[in-house]
Structure 1
């Protein structure tokens, strides 16, 4: 059985308590038996050797002393790593990418064991390869340092690391989110990563097998990377109260993130938030409906428990019925199953009460179910006790009605897609209403458009500014080099949210002037004299 202890200051720190990862397939076979086995293992009531067929690994639980030690180790390592030349730090990305390529199959298997369907695990790895790719890292590098010569001065503008960055990935896609967050290392920060108790194995694997060896290869100081599994509250409390932590990179719910932002301000700690999404897709009258339908079904991937999937759709009334017909067929082809099976895109959902509350609210406010709305067994058959939720499409007539429906107003995090059919009118009035609705969205992760009319595309691109990423006629969730994968304003990123490159967000600008032969008094007063001389010259020449 794979065991990962806490990793602090370059050393493994064992524990008397471990969190066990029971395969999702075992949970699907018998949820009660699998979760009981997990609980008994964690209580020490079962010999791990007797559960080898159901358990793929375990991770040590860190107590408050280990959490504090990780913070101290990062603070000790931070100055040495920050002093490492930028070119060396940037080469860390190539080292991580190399290991991702070499170990991608093994990494995918770990993600599958924790419940990620194979297709989505492979999608996550592909996104990470772009995150650590030359194009993306190369652009970030151009933002890190600039230098010009001005007379006898060399002027530099550079980004310097915050210092110690604490990273809290979410319970969904924690491994990929942790790898995204540790790009803060490239800026010269030392990091502490907390793996969530619900899915720690992928985070531990990524940090220990992919990141730590790449750091060791570069001779990074011990403590540059620290990773542990713990409950969130003691870790976050330590990060906020410790004067050693400079920044917290938090991914999670809007409510917790906003409170963290307020608490951090009291302690003078910088917070980078990656919160919810309520992404909107606009389908215009001339859209390629086959391709648009394919993009909209991305809403159901991972049972909707991915922050960057489509959450609501605005469709031109001229093509609404045809789009809904296509979506009804496409949604029925999204199937559940064991995560290791190719083609499976739905994940189990253990707590589904809110899903049905969203549906009841929508129906009570005039929406109609086009497809779905039931629980499913692993084989896809309807069931009152199934662990999957059927991909669900709602029809909502009118933007005003849509604004009243909770499934439109909030991120649902379920396989639930409301299609808002805009009120009839002129194309100009319909487009204005669509744009106003998108701009009123308090979330700010991604938005996208399906249209071929160049004037419609131009208006959409010029007027939609409230998101971190905007896509036109493209996969809504697909990763691209150079462009941001995460981030945005509002409920997505908090008061200071924007397109998120952790390498830039965990650093700050600093100006430097290195001079030779400059007389200080002349440097202070000559500039004004030169200004007056220039004005007089302009006056003489009629300037």
Structure 2
């Protein structure tokens, strides 16, 4: 590793911030390590309020020009960014895998193509964004989406580039400028995105990337009076802190937070399908906010469901995420491993039984775990673990199932397995969740609203909902009379 640059999987990555179209170093750094083996992979510039203020100033200076850029030109540049992502898919996939430990095959086949799609989708949606004029007592109402200003986007470590661009793309398409703060545990692909955006021709200051810890740089960003929008994906406690920080300036927030989502399996479901859906919740080592970590199974089929689940889960291969045959990679950080293990140990001490797993592996790997004999009011049922840990409870009726499903402070998602379409309609109507999947999981369309209820978040993004958040909506009312003759 040379000063201000590291090489990861053969890819050179600049470890400095990207502010106003230039690389900016900080006096101090922090170490970024790979979850695969714990080895250090880069010394990253450690931002402070100084870099935060500089990035917001750069975004503010660039905003008038970018906001005035015609829609078609903004869309063209976002498509150029997507082109750059596609050209560097292999590099981005390899760097992301080393940096956050998710499967390389998933990054190649699904995640990085989705990154490019994020830019293309919102670029195209921008060109169709309109509201039909309507009349009020002969007056014409005309609705427009006006760029709001500099946006601070704070993103998590579990899907770094995909979740970052899910925010960056609509914010830029809307005509806003952006300060992106990636998670300190997985900052590298955000730096590569800055390179790609610059190569695509994005004007200086339109996209800025500031790295560092929330307490040192995040607070300075979220409390800045020139910031017009804040979007955050992460934990409830951090969101509460950000909301308090933003309150003084009344800065609008979009918060996508944790979940404790249920998977309801009724006796009339295709059990093989239900088991497949349940085992799929171990994806990304369980580090998925949408994961249905609470398996709620009708009592009549619980024994058979558990038998089939154990048989299928036992075939999962945990190991190096760069290998094609690996199904589950490592946990992001030693602190996260300790957190997961703490949850499991306390659950076992309280009387839970580990059907599989229940312990860490070597290094930063945690064994896929299924816990039974858990109480509804227990910590392991009520709190988000964010690891490969599922619980299994039984129910005897629809009312019982819905009660258990809704009985947490979260409401991000829910999954339902049933062979009865009428039951599916009845149950989904009663579930508290931003997204409900019936006999499927993780099918997502950028046209659909996404977000959570209760403590799982505030607001919805996707399609026009994204522009509603990232813009100031304006209604212009014009009288039918009063025009002077300019003929």
Report the counterpart of residue 161 of structure 1 in structure 2. 147
The correspondence of residues 78-477 of structure 1 with structure 2, limited to 5 A, is: 78-114=63-99, 115-122=101-108, 123-134=110-121, 144-148=129-133, 150=135, 154-183=140-169, 184-209=171-196, 211-214=197-200, 216=201, 220-344=202-326, 345-348=328-331, 350-351=334-335, 352-377=337-362, 386-396=363-373, 402-422=375-395, 424=396, 430-464=397-431, 466-475=432-441, 477=442
User: Which residue is 2:18 aligned to?
Assistant: 7
- Counterpart CA distance in 1 for 2:302 and 2:252 is 45
How many Å apart are 1:24 and its aligned residue?
A: 4.7
1:452 and 1:15, CA in 2 relative to 1: closer, same or farther beyond 3 A?
same
Q: 1:431 to 1:133 in 2, by over 3 A?
A: farther
Give 1:455 shift.
Answer: 1.2
Return the TM-score normalized by structure 1: 0.78
Runs of 5+ unmatched residues, structure 1: 39-54, 378-385, 425-429, 521-543
Q: How many angstroms does 1:478 deviate by?
A: 4.1
Q: Partner residue of 1:536?
A: none
Q: Are the aligned partners of 2:254 and 2:460 in contact in 1 as well (CA < 8 Å)?
A: no
How many Å separate the matches in 2 of 1:24 and 1:336? Answer: 13
Cα offset for 1:95? 2.8
TM-score, normalised by the number of residues in structure 2: 0.87
CA contact (8 A) 2:35 2:330 kept: no
Asked if the contact 1:365–1:404 (Cα under 8 Å) also holds between the matched residues in 2, the reply is: no
Report the Cα distance in structure 2 between the residues aligned to 1:467 and 1:508, rounded to whole angstroms: 27
CA–CA distance in structure 2, aligned partners of residues 353 and 208 of structure 1: 35
Residue 146 of structure 1 aligns to a residue whose secondary structure is coil
**Cα distance, 1:92 vs structure 2:** 4.2
In the TM superposition, what are the counterparts of 1:11-90 in structure 2 within 5 Å?
Answer: 11-19=22-30, 21-25=32-36, 28=37, 31=38, 34=39, 38=40, 55=41, 59-90=44-75
Q: Deviations over 1:311-347 (max 9, x none)?
A: 1111111211111111112222222222211132221
How many residues in Structure 1 have an aligned counterpart in Structure 2? 464
Distance 1:402 1:507, change over 3 A: farther
Contact 2:451 2:460 (C-alpha < 8 Å) held by counterparts:
yes
Contact 2:321 2:330 in 1 (8 A): yes
Q: Give the conservation status (yes or no) of the 8 Å contact 2:31–2:43.
A: yes
Distance 1:295 1:420 in 2: 16
Cα distance in 2 between the residues matched to 1:121 and 1:290 = 27
Q: How far, CA to CA, are the matches of 1:361 and 1:414 in structure 2? A: 15
Change (3 A) 1:152 1:10: farther
Worse overlay, 117-126 or 250-259: 117-126
Indicate the RMSD between aligned Cα atoms, in angstroms: 2.7
Distance 1:317 1:158 in 2: 53
SS in 2 for 1:511: strand
**Within 1, Cα distance between the matches of 2:315 and 2:50?**
50
Distance in 2 of aligned mates of 1:463 and 1:403: 19
Kindly tell me: are residues 387 and 22 of structure 1, through their superposed partners in 2, closer, same or farther at Cα, counting changes over 3 Å?
Answer: closer
TM-superposed CA distance for 1:246, in Å, is: 1.3
Map of 1:497 onto structure 2: 459
Contact map agreement 2:257 2:452 (CA 8 A) in 1: no
Tell me by how many angstroms 1:130 deviates: 4.5
Cα offset, 1:365, TM superposition: 4.4
Larger radius of gyration: 1
The question of whether the paired residues in 1 share the 8 Å contact of 2:138 and 2:479 is answered with yes
Shift of the 105–478 alpha-carbon distance from structure 1 to 2, 3 Å rule, reads farther
Q: How far 1:360 sits from its partner (Å)?
A: 3.6
- Verify the 8 A CA contact 1:180 1:502 in the aligned structure 2: no
Secondary structure, counterpart of 1:508 in structure 2: strand
Q: Secondary structure at the match of 2:290?
A: coil
1:156 Cα deviation (Å)? Answer: 1.3
Q: 2:234, 2:256 within 8 Å by CA — same for their partners in 1?
A: yes
The alpha-carbon deviation at position 297 of structure 1 amounts to 1.5
- Unmatched 5+ stretches in structure 2: 1-6
How far residue 84 of structure 1 moved from its aligned partner, in angstroms, is 2.1
Cα distance, 1:141 vs structure 2: 5.9
Distance change in 2, residues 1:212/1:434 (3 Å)? farther
Kept after mapping to 1: 8 A contact 2:74/2:123 = no
1:469/1:499 contact within 8 Å kept: no
